[in-house]
Homo-oligomer: A and B are copies of this chain.
Amino acid sequence: MSLLDYFRASRPKSASIAKERLQILVAHERTRNQPSYLPQLQKELLEVIRKYINVEQDAISVNFEQDDNQETLELNIVLPDYQQTDRGLHV
Contacts and interface: CB of A to CB of B under 8 A. Distances in A.
Interface in A39-91: 40-41, 44-45, 48-49, 51-52, 63, 65, 67, 70, 72, 74, 82, 89
Contacts of A18: 31
A72 B44 CA distance: 20
Interface string A8-51: 11110000001111111111111110100100110011001101
B22 A24 contact: no
Given A20-B30, A26-B22, A65-B2, A48 B41 contact: yes
Interface of A: 1-4, 6-11, 18-32, 34, 37, 40-41, 44-45, 48-49, 51-52, 63, 65, 67, 70, 72, 74, 82, 89
